[in-house]
Chain A
């Protein structure tokens, strides 16, 4: 049987960094094929290439033996490749039927849209999934689960032969998952190929027949699900060397600085508790989107948790913090928040390095105070952090990723803070700069500071931190000293979630 889809030696690079190295993947008709790997392994990129969203740099794609050239999402749709991405693409102010047929609406003789035909065809497609939703209902009135089903129905309606599902069960409860699985099996029996990107071990073992593992943009291997165990699967996903980038960990820890008790991030999540002491670098590890960011951002008022207390230096914070004043409130308590996206949320790209660093100092003073040039502080920061630039007046946008990240951190390191909440300290940063950043963070704690860091690079957290909390499903499922942690252990806890806790 020829493969329905053959992706052969696909490579893709974004800017300077390579996302995929010569990855090959075959999809057979009538199969449910799992695609696994840690965040950043390349799963989304590979599937986006198949869906026509990105263009491959090299390699070929074949469908039923014929070469495919997918230049746009429309090309993929016309070839019969349909995708349901995590970022929902339905228009909220249009009805289900209108969304289903957008761009190809059937018309009557007078040029009007034939709503009756649209409605009945939509109802039929929804019916195939066992849904009884009213096709004329607005998408904005649907629950997230219902929206997901509508998107899948859209794919079915478009008569796709390949269905790509990216984390389809992220927002579904157990009953919905059953419905989804039933329908996926039905599609498989009809001869479709379903690609199932997920971290949920139970589902993968229950539903899929084949699994492909990617790691750091390369193919690790493809196996039949019936011939592999969970442990072997995890072993395929990890196994990196701990490089010599990291400074030595500190032995002692000082007074308690941050205490979180029984915090519920969502209404239905398990309460979480953690502590942080002076001199410690503590990690929030786990797969992306499990609640680490929601937790961290609830400390600055961007999310409002449902219960629990947060104390800094022994004093409880008055919850809920306001979204607009949360950062400043924490700043007064000598806590700084370093956002993840340095380009959109962190840096002033058109403004000089000096401004970017000094703004943390300026923001503590009253408006009419003269703005001190802080030349010494800036010069010292640039030297200590080894920021390579033409001078302090160079616009930050002209620097490399690593140097930009250092400038961002420099703002907080210069601001005389005690506690740093850091999201993704080395995203998009070269190896050399990474090591420098690790040393800077350790120096910060040596002087009595504390750092709570969030990162999707597990190996980074193991090397850098003193203690690791593993987050899954909006709560903490494991805690371990970094010295005893391994990628395998962390991923195990992260994937198995509550099951792991029972061990």
Chain B
């Protein structure tokens, strides 16, 4: 095993994030099983369904690069979805909803960041607890004022196309590019890379470590809000269960994409393809007749497998 790892070609291949390989494998599987599905229209629809996940992945990868995690995205999406569909703000305009969503994401992200960065509480526990509080809150509010129809404006925007590519997909690609620019071209990106690689060294170099972690979580909150807006556009009626499993799927996609805690080998596009993998995975599973529980098992196996893979890789000389 060690000899295989030492081979220079193997080394090069190992540095490529698994998501690219898995994507190709899934694409091949689909081509063999249902070649007629591989056209732009059908694929466009499937990929559009994965856009909220893909957007959430962006926030998750920023947070994971500073060795933290954010599991509150599901709760944020649920809350914003409720705000929009419950009719609690009659006559509100699109800009209002956008502003409300972003404010919600900002506040929750800030709270997470403060707890993780300043109080040094375990990120998993904080974000999971926040998610539970949000879910409980929404379910409670729903029992009094159930979610209704999503304003038509959202659905309309969601269903548009630009050059036969669904708008949400284009939006997702643009957002990914923006985050990529943020991480590679700004000082903040340098801070993130430094804190993730060696927080002590970052401290001695003058990097504001705590502030970077807080900002990372705040950004993740904002991104979750954006994902919520897209997600709301994809459904006609509000729900009390929308988006809850997205955060852990985002973790899986991010790890698959080569971004492991503290490292950023996969950049931003590795996790992008990680999300695409899940789009394909769901299609393949539906085609092969595997359903919901299979999704859960796949998630768990991917995360565990990737974590073991990286754990082993770190230790090999």
Contact between A367 and B188, CB atoms less than 8 A apart = yes
**Contact in complex: B206, A328 (CB < 8 Å):** yes
* Chain B, 156-202, CB within 8 A of any chain A CB: 185-191, 193-194, 197-198, 200-202
B205: A residues at CB distance < 8 A: 327, 359-360, 363, 411
Which residues of chain A (323-361) have a CB below 8 Å from chain B? 324-325, 327-328, 331, 337-339, 344-351, 355, 358-360
In the bound complex, how far is the Cα of B204 from the Cα of A320, in angstroms? 18
Task: Report chain A residues within 8 Å CB of B188.
Answer: 367-368
Q: Are B204 and A366 in contact (CB under 8 A)?
A: no
Question: Interface 1/0s, chain B 58-101, versus A by CB < 8 A?
Answer: 00000000000000000000000000000000000000000000
Point out the residues of chain A lying under 8 angstroms from B200, CB to CB: 339, 344-345
Q: List 30 A-B contacts (CB under 8 A).
A: A324-B209, A327-B204, A328-B208, A337-B204, A338-B204, A339-B200, A339-B201, A339-B204, A347-B198, A348-B194, A348-B198, A350-B263, A351-B197, A355-B190, A358-B190, A359-B194, A360-B206, A362-B207, A363-B191, A363-B205, A365-B187, A366-B187, A367-B186, A367-B188, A367-B212, A368-B187, A371-B185, A371-B186, A371-B189, A371-B190
**Is the Cβ of B187 less than 8 Å from the Cβ of A371?**
yes
CB contact between A368 and one of B186, B202, B207 (< 8 Å): that residue? B186
A369 within 8 A of partner (CB): yes
Asked if A364 is at the interface (CB within 8 A of a chain B CB), the reply is yes
Bound complex: CA of A356 vs CA of B197, how far in Å?
A: 11
Who on chain B is nearest to A360 by CB? Answer: B205
A337 CA / B197 CA spacing, docked (Å):
19
- What is the distance, in angstroms, from A213's C-beta to the closest C-beta of chain B? 36
Q: Which of chain A's residues have a CB closer than 8 A to the CB of B313?
A: none
Residues of B within 8 A of A344 (CB): 198, 200-201
> Is A251's CB within 8 Å of the partner chain B?
no
CB of B51 within 8 A of chain A? Answer: no
Residues of chain B within 8 A (CB-CB) of A370 are 185-187
A contact set with B: CB distance below 8 Å:
324-325, 327-328, 331, 337-339, 344-351, 355, 358-360, 362-371, 411
B155 at the interface (CB under 8 A from A): no
Q: Which of A360, A363, A365 has the most CB of B within 10 A?
A: A363
In the complex, A392→B239 CA distance in Å?
53
Q: B34 on the interface (CB 8 Å rule)?
A: no
Q: What would 18 more interface pairs be, CB under 8 Å, given A327-B204, A345-B204, A371-B187?
A: A324-B210, A338-B204, A339-B200, A347-B198, A348-B193, A348-B194, A349-B198, A351-B194, A359-B206, A362-B187, A362-B191, A365-B187, A367-B186, A367-B191, A367-B212, A368-B188, A369-B187, A411-B205
How far is B297's CA from A117's CA once the two chains are assembled, in angstroms?
Answer: 52
Task: State which residues 246-291 of B face A: CB under 8 Å.
Answer: 263
Residue of A nearest to B183 (CB): A371
A359 to B215, CA, bound (A): 18
Q: Tell me whether A355 and B193 are in contact in the complex, defined as CB-CB below 8 angstroms, given that A324-B210, A331-B206, A347-B198 are known contacts.
A: yes
Q: Are A346 and B204 in contact (CB under 8 A)?
A: yes
B192 and chain A: residue at smallest CB distance? A367
> Which A-chain residue is minimally distant from B208 (CB atoms)?
A328
Given contacts A345-B200, A351-B193, contact A359 B186 (CB under 8 A): no
Q: Which chain A residues border B209 with CB–CB below 8 Å? A: 324
Complex Cα distance A348/B195, Å?
9
Query: A325–B208 Cα gap in the complex (Å)?
Result: 7
In the complex, which residues of chain B have a beta carbon less than 8 angstroms from the beta carbon of A331? 206
